[in-house]
Amino acid sequence: MRGFYTAASGILVHFSRIDAAAGNVANWGTAGFRRAEVPQRSFADAILNAGGAGRSEWSSRLGWGETVFLRAPGLGAILEEPELSNSQGGIDHTGRPEDLALDGAGFFVVEAGPRGSLYTRRGDFQLDGQGRLVTPGGYLLMGEKGPIIPGGPFEVEPDGTVTAGGAAVDRILVVDFPAPEGLSPEGEGLYGRGRAGNPFPAEAGMVQGAVELSNVDLLREMVSLMAGQRAYQAVQRALRTHDELLGKAIAEIPRV
């Protein structure tokens, strides 16, 4: 039955990769979007990397000795959590004073009500009816003192300091994470903390009147989509072939 499990794990992995590539293509035009990629490794590699205790436990569970396990045939792939690519996107100068782009590592912090603090590279902010800087979804952009409320025409320095009427209002809060690739997508170019760890202050430069584009390479994602679909179909054929062989064995072996 090992062939069934091997093929099934392949189907799950390729489906996840297709889903990630489709999401990347759909968000190609979303400012500050981070492309997702699905790491892939074999089941055997995952167990070997778990350390000596993990190897012994699984070797015992599968009825193999340690030496046999190290040379065991492929057991399929492990479905990993998608990870974000944190390469810098291009900078598009819009001329709108509300637009902000980060140049370097880090994320804006926005307050999303019951959802708590979320993180984004999407810098196409706007002023709401109370003069506060908010995301297109209405979430508050946070500074070191709280929500950013310019109170009129304003300028943003490269270090994130907001000035209005020649006086400093606040400094826009920018944070980074020990493992930013582990942030979890929350839609609208926003991310939750996920597996990224605890946030800490970051020193990314800030450009006013510009937004960072997504870091999605459209051609690369289209190729990934086609490759994933073909691999998915190949694994389906392998699963069907294994099923036919098993059916023949069940039907013919008792006659021998």
Same domain, 98 and 206: yes
- pTM of the model as a whole: 0.75
- The whole domain housing 243 covers 2-85+216-255
Q: Do 103 and 71 share a structural domain? A: no
Write out the DSSP string of 215-227. Answer: ---HHHHHHHHHH
- Looking at residue 166, the DSSP 8-state letter turns out to be T
| Burial class of 63 by CB neighbour count within 10 A (0 to 12, 13 to 18, 19+) | exposed
Do both 104 and 189 map to the same domain?
A: yes
Comparing C-alpha atoms, which of 34, 78, 42, 43 is closest to residue 196?
Answer: 34
DSSP state of 152: S
β-bridge partners, 164 = 167
Q: Please tell me the distance from the alpha carbon of residue 161 to that of residue 165, in angstroms, as a whole number.
A: 13
Residues 99 and 42 in one domain: no
Q: Which residues contact 100 (CB under 8 A, 6 or more apart)?
A: 108, 123, 125, 156, 172, 206, 207, 208, 210, 211
Count of domains for the chain: 2
CA distance 37 to 80: 10
pLDDT, one tens digit for every residue, the chain (256 residues): 666 677 777 777 777 888 888 889 989 988 999 999 887 665 555 545 555 444 444 444 444 444 333 344 455 666 677 889 989 999 999 999 999 999 999 999 999 888 889 999 999 999 999 999 999 999 999 999 999 999 889 999 999 999 998 899 999 999 999 999 999 999 889 999 999 999 999 989 999 999 999 999 999 889 888 888 887 788 778 778 777 777 777 777 766 5
> For residue 137, which amino acid is it?
G
